[in-house]
Chains A and B, each alone.
Chain A
Amino acid sequence: MAEVGAGRGAGATGGARGVRAARSGWFRLWLWGDLRARVATCFVLFALALAVLAPLVTSHAPSAQGVAPFDGPSWDHWLGTDDLGRDVWARLVYGARASLTAAFIAVGVALALGVPVGLVSGFRGGWLDVVLMRVADVLLSFPGIVIAIAFIAVLGPGLVNSMTAVGIVFFPSVARVMRGQVLVTKERLYVDAATSFGSPPWRILVRHVLPNSVQPVIIQATFLLGLAVIAEASLSFVGLGVQYPSPSFGVMLQRAAQFISLKPSGVYPPGLAIALTVLAFNALGDSLRDALDPMTSTRRRLRRLRRRGSARDLPNEEGPR
């Protein structure tokens, strides 16, 4: 009586099933299929590994002052020394630890606040939803760093405080994304099915709506990690984040800036570290987003253009090539 395996079925169902299979094995497909994703993931893992295994990666202590300040790269000091003779590479690696921790704190706070708010707002709808989203819109239109500074003025500077403030600044955008997806998911038939067995709304929310709405939030969180790294660097640079002499990308930049006339190249190691980390997170986010929605509108537009001939040729040629 049972159907013979998943391989049979008319063409239409088979094709649709193929897409669905791809979408659920998307993680595996994406990782092995997309070069950009692989490179970005590798870099992020590498950075994380460096940060976690810091003591094993460098023999120098980040705070050990030496006798030869502003040295260039050498066998002993791979990236040279800073203004107090400390090993730059060591400070960079330990700084990565601080900066990455900072990023995860900020995004963690944003998720902890944004996911429940988005869930409730989207699921319940009504006036609560309208009010919350208006407030979110207002918050999102202001320069985040200024709001963060206001929070830091109240909480006090430091890694945890400043990154919590950044997380608070981020959470409206997380809430928005979560809410958007919840609006779609709550209309699904399996939600009706769960209601029909007598499942209470909170259980439907947690068991069905949340797991099926979380993908865009993960993408958003990836981009926010990049933004958080920049936020940490900015805040530490002006003395409101990680406090000197603890190393972080921002602190290192601040010191390098102070002594820029003595060693102009000092700004490159932390700056490049920041740029590469942010690029990696952004690339990761981009490829995650593409993996979930291959028909992005830009690609469609380009396909259309390709058929008609490139835009450059429009003023001169008639018809397709």
Chain B
Amino acid sequence: MTAAAPLLSVADLEVHYRLPGHRDEVHAVDGVTFDILPREIFGLIGESGCGKSSVARAVMRLAPIAAGTVALGGIGLETLRGRGLRRHRRRVQMVFQDPHESLDPRLTVRRAVREPLELVGGDTAAGREARVRELVDRVGLDESHLDRKPHELSGGQKQRVNIARALALSPELLVCDEAVSALDVSVRAGIINLLLALQQELGISVLFISHDIGVVAHVADRIGVMYLGKLVEVAAAESLTRQPRHPYTEALLAAEPQARPSTDRVVRAPLIKGDAPSAARPPSGCRFRTRCRYAVEMCAQVEPELRPVADGGMVACHLADTLELTGRRD
């Protein structure tokens, strides 16, 4: 933990959805607390349905915040509305998962990237044009792309446009919600490297969300692991991968595909049994206990809290001090 004031401070965040036809609400995010420091890349991983996208949308104020606070540079975002909210929106920008759907099919690249600038105003048309060119160039596209429409671009190119557009307003925090998951594997590396380079260059913070622990481990400085609406572990990327403290993290690492010839691969039994329980009715006590191979009786009775551990990380597990979990082998 450094002494620097965090850029983003999320405390006890809750996001609820009501499914059509159901009476109960689903707590997609059920009390999540974490900070993101300036110039930091914070990764958020978990299975589908764990609530990580909902965290992203809540931070972006695209989903209603049922409880808790989201503070950006000290200013609480959860209570803002109308013009006040719009003014703060530009400080947090998002790169969405679907590169195609997030672009208006009728707008050219130039117009799409220019739109945020037009909203803010305060510049001449020439100034905006210059900025658009600068952004487009920075993400690795060239002039010929400016007048193309989304359907004339490849997936990777579209995502670059999305990144350019997201950076147009010089945000302090960039939220990447599965930004590379929809792209071909061969294209992902390019986008990831672009994001890393931009983060270095611009000094922004990034909230990087993915279900792919390999990607997140490569990209992030610190990582948060979510399961069924709660954070189960937060740690620096390196220590998380080398020495996970939560059984779920261990299982995620074990399930990672190994990029080795099959003869060299280590065969491991899957560390998770069964399917994820329904988010509408989470298990009592520790939510992961139904699939955890280390679970004991206490796990069913008392829900573990996210507590700090020795090397600066946080874990939510009753057995955190006693378990010796295996991380990545390489």
Q: What is the CB-to-nearest-CB distance from B142 to chain A, in angstroms, rounded to a whole number?
A: 6
A198–B120 CA distance with the chains assembled, in angstroms: 9
- The answer to whether A212 has its CB under 8 Å from any CB of chain B is yes
A193 touches B96 (CB 8 A): yes
A188 touches B155 (CB 8 A): no
Q: Is chain A's binding surface mostly helix, strand, loop or mixed?
A: helix
B105 touches A212 (CB 8 A): yes
| Residues of the A chain whose Cβ atoms lie less than 8 Å from the Cβ of B92 | 196
Least CB separation from A190: chain B residue: B104
- The answer to whether B67 has its CB under 8 Å from any CB of chain A is no
B151 touches A196 (CB 8 A): no
| Residues of the B chain whose Cβ atoms lie less than 8 Å from the Cβ of A3 | 154, 156-157, 160, 187, 190
- Are A8 and B154 CB-contacts (below 8 A) given A24-B149, A197-B116? yes
CB within 8 A of A190: which of B60, B86, B93, B102? B102
Size class of the contact patch on chain B? 35 or more
- The answer to whether A113 has its CB under 8 Å from any CB of chain B is no
| Residues of the A chain whose Cβ atoms lie less than 8 Å from the Cβ of B142 | 2
| Residues of the B chain whose Cβ atoms lie less than 8 Å from the Cβ of A203 | 119
Size class of the contact patch on chain A? 20 to 34
- The answer to whether A304 has its CB under 8 Å from any CB of chain B is no
A211–B105 CA distance with the chains assembled, in angstroms: 10
| Residues of the A chain whose Cβ atoms lie less than 8 Å from the Cβ of B141 | 2
- The answer to whether A195 has its CB under 8 Å from any CB of chain B is yes
Q: What is the CB-to-nearest-CB distance from A25 to chain B, in angstroms, rounded to a whole number?
A: 9
A212–B90 CA distance with the chains assembled, in angstroms: 25
Most buried by B among A5, A9, A197: A197
- The answer to whether A21 has its CB under 8 Å from any CB of chain B is yes
A24 touches B105 (CB 8 A): yes
Least CB separation from A2: chain B residue: B140
Tell me the A194-222 residues at the B interface (CB within 8 Å): 194-200, 203, 207-208, 211-212
| Residues of the A chain whose Cβ atoms lie less than 8 Å from the Cβ of B90 | 197-198
**6 A-B interface contacts by CB (under 8 A):** A3-B154, A9-B155, A23-B151, A190-B104, A196-B93, A212-B104
Known: A17-B154, A197-B93. 17 other contacts (CB 8 A): A6-B154, A6-B157, A21-B151, A21-B152, A24-B105, A24-B151, A190-B102, A192-B62, A193-B103, A193-B162, A196-B94, A197-B90, A198-B87, A198-B120, A199-B86, A199-B119, A203-B119
B-to-A contact residues, CB < 8 Å: 60, 62, 85-87, 89-90, 92-94, 96, 98, 100-106, 115-116, 119-120, 140-142, 145, 148-157, 160, 162, 165, 168-169, 184, 187, 190, 194
A-to-B contact residues, CB < 8 Å: 1-3, 5-6, 8-10, 13, 17, 20-21, 23-24, 188-190, 192-200, 203, 207-208, 211-212
